[in-house]
Amino acid sequence: MATPLKLNNTLSRKKEIFEPLEAGFVGMYVCGPTVYNPVHLGNCRTFTSFDLIYRYLMYKGYRVRYVRNITDVGHLTDSGEDKMAKEARISKLEPMEVAAKYANDFHDMMRIFNNLNPSIEPQASGHIIEQIEMVQQIIDNGYGYEVNGSVYFDVAAYEKDMEAKGDNAPHRYGALSGRKIDELLSETRELNSQAEKKSPSDFAIWMKAKPEDLQKWKSPWGVGFPGWHLECSAMSTKYLGETFDIHGGGNDLKFPHHENEIAQNVGCCHRGGARYWLHTNMLLMNGRKMSKSDGNTVTPDQLFTGDSPHLTKGYSPMAIRFFMLQTHYSSTMDLTDEALQAAEKGYLRLMEAIRTLGKLEVSGKAQNETVGKELAEGMAAAFAEMDDDFNTPKALARVFEIVTKINALAGGQLSTDEVNPATLDRLKTDLHALIFDVLGLQDEAAGGSNAHTKALDGVMDVLLDIRQQARTDKNWGLSDQIRDALSEAGIKVKDGKEGATWSV
């Protein structure tokens, strides 16, 4: 029997049974990337985690509206400059060119890792009207004030009202991140415009533009642009409603981004937005958070080619996806060459077993279907792990117990008489569903349509062209050298009337 789906709700700090607002439907909002430079593997980890969650919700039969935004305005650097504007200035591009370039790069990466497209991918710059309306409503409700063309969220006024609702009010400022207002006062990072605010913990929801700012819009408070946190409140409300099911993001966004989002939602609509908050944990490299701002990153491309001092070789996208799935989304994971090597081995072993399973035939002649029952129980246990807050490492551990049995059935150590054909069919269906549909893995050896395969095709075209030129030039030495080197790499080249072809 199917187990209920449980989620670790980071707002309540409890593992809760998931019950959507409307039976059969799920609304999920995930903070997307700020598109001002290439995604790194840490970003990919977070989005792959939510891809897995999206896939599993659909597998459970929910119709999911998955909204993942693109931040292309208002996200400031620590020094107060807009990240998009800074990149536009440095690279002499329009901010929208910067956004398009890196959004395309992001989409390519999502496809390479076989992440599904969200249902809606709204851009902050395309939702300025909604954000202005939200600012106005927050002001009207007494939680926002205008100073010199900028509008700030009045944290003290908000918190006073929340406090009046009692200590357990779920939307008190600091409830999500566990921070106290006093601490916030001393550590607030928004150093610019500090003098304008009533209190250092107040945050900008609308910012007055400077003459040199590239992205700016007219508003009731003058020309400016929205504060970063506002876009997610405005777009989640627009597409999912004032109350919706799930909100996700990396746990580095808990404060201030998500804390401020909740305050804005309540401040505007008297409702807190999401009922369940899910936070993914960080990908580390050398024990430190992988982060653009301090240069501790490895790009997916470096991982594919192995072109990084941290790696001894390249790894395929699916080996890397498998690597990510081996850790629960809420735990940190450290990227090391050894861990990637182990993941690659595990991934290849799993794909091999699935191919073996495809060819396996059983008779079920034995009176007791002992092995068949174990296989069915193992599969049910794997899905039960998924129901327990999407526990992919434990689900994979169950799957590997099944892999051992598949190999033993194929090798004769277990009797195929002890599995009924119907049980085998069921196992094939369920294992395929879990591995390919839910975990989103692809069998690269079976020609999965991923960038690696395409890249290899491209490289082979170039090599065979060079070899053809060598043959035309009667440079037999070079021609043979290319063929022999490829052969050593496991690629056979065959010369025919139409030119050379290759196979692995």
Query: Which residues lie near ligand AMP (CB under 6 A)?
Result: 31, 33-34, 42-43, 45-46, 249-250, 252-253, 280, 282-283, 289-291
Stretch that binds Zn ion, among 42-50, 105-113, 190-198, 232-240 (CB under 5 A): 232-240
Task: DSSP letter for 434, please.
Answer: I
Q: What, of Zn ion, ligand AMP, none, does residue 109 touch, CB below 5 to 8 Å by kind?
A: none
Distance, CA of 501 to CA of 135 (rounded, Å): 63
Q: Least distance in Å: CB of 255 to ligand AMP? A: 12
Q: Least distance in Å: CB of 32 to ligand AMP? A: 7
If binding is defined by CB under 5 A, does position 232 make contact with Zn ion? yes
Taking residues 26 to 65 in sequence order and writing x for each that binds Zn ion by CB under 5 A, - otherwise, the string is -----x----------------------------------
3-class DSSP state of 278 = strand
Cα 392 to the center of its chain, rounded Å: 14
Q: Least distance in Å: CB of 214 to Zn ion? A: 22
Q: What, of Zn ion, ligand AMP, none, does residue 232 touch, CB below 5 to 8 Å by kind?
A: Zn ion
If binding is defined by CB under 5 A, does position 84 make contact with Zn ion? no
User: For residues 109 and 128, which CB has a smaller minimum distance to ligand AMP in the complex?
Assistant: 109
If binding is defined by CB under 5 A, does position 112 make contact with Zn ion? no
Distance, CA of 254 to CA of 260 (rounded, Å): 9
User: For residues 71 and 391, which CB has a smaller minimum distance to Zn ion in the complex?
Assistant: 71
User: For residues 40 and 171, which CB has a smaller minimum distance to ligand AMP in the complex?
Assistant: 40
CA quadruple 415, 417, 419, 421: dihedral positive or negative? positive
DSSP-derived secondary structure for 343-388 = HHHHHHHHHHHHHHHHH------SSS-HHHHHHHHHHHHHHHHHHB
Interacting residues of 178 by C-beta distance below 8 A, sequence separation 6+: none
User: For residues 288 and 365, which CB has a smaller minimum distance to ligand AMP in the complex?
Assistant: 288
User: For residues 332 and 501, which CB has a smaller minimum distance to ligand AMP in the complex?
Assistant: 332
DSSP-derived secondary structure for 129-162 = HHHHHHHHHHHHTTSEEEETTEEEE-HHHHHHHH
If binding is defined by CB under 5 A, does position 493 make contact with Zn ion? no
CA quadruple 89, 92, 96, 100: dihedral positive or negative? negative
Q: Least distance in Å: CB of 371 to ligand AMP? A: 40
User: For residues 31 and 318, which CB has a smaller minimum distance to Zn ion in the complex?
Assistant: 31
Stretch that binds Zn ion, among 50-58, 124-132, 230-238, 451-459 (CB under 5 A): 230-238
Q: Least distance in Å: CB of 49 to ligand AMP? A: 8
> If you search the block for the tokens 């063309």, which residue do you land on?
149
If binding is defined by CB under 5 A, does position 278 make contact with Zn ion? no
Task: DSSP letter for 286, please.
Answer: T
Q: What, of Zn ion, ligand AMP, none, does residue 46 touch, CB below 5 to 8 Å by kind?
A: ligand AMP
User: For residues 34 and 423, which CB has a smaller minimum distance to Zn ion in the complex?
Assistant: 34
3-class DSSP state of 182 = helix
Q: What, of ligand AMP, Zn ion, none, does residue 85 touch, CB below 5 to 8 Å by kind?
A: none
Q: Least distance in Å: CB of 86 to ligand AMP? A: 14
List the one residue out of 143, 120, 112, 105 whose CA is nearest residue 48: 112
Which residue type is seen at 195?
A
Number of residues that bind Zn ion (CB under 5 A): 2
Stretch that binds Zn ion, among 231-239, 338-346, 448-456, 482-490 (CB under 5 A): 231-239
Contact 143, 205 (CB under 8 A): no
If binding is defined by CB under 5 A, does position 235 make contact with Zn ion? no
Structure tokens at 452: 């690696």
Distance, CA of 324 to CA of 334 (rounded, Å): 10
If binding is defined by CB under 5 A, does position 7 make contact with Zn ion? no
User: For residues 155 and 290, which CB has a smaller minimum distance to ligand AMP in the complex?
Assistant: 290
> If you search the block for the tokens 């060598």, which residue do you land on?
470
User: For residues 289 and 471, which CB has a smaller minimum distance to ligand AMP in the complex?
Assistant: 289
Distance, CA of 400 to CA of 327 (rounded, Å): 15
Other CB atoms within 10 A of residue 97 CB:
13
Helices (H) and strands (E) in the chain, counts: 16, 15
User: For residues 285 and 379, which CB has a smaller minimum distance to ligand AMP in the complex?
Assistant: 285
Q: Would you tell me which residues interact with Zn ion (CB under 5 A)?
A: 31, 232
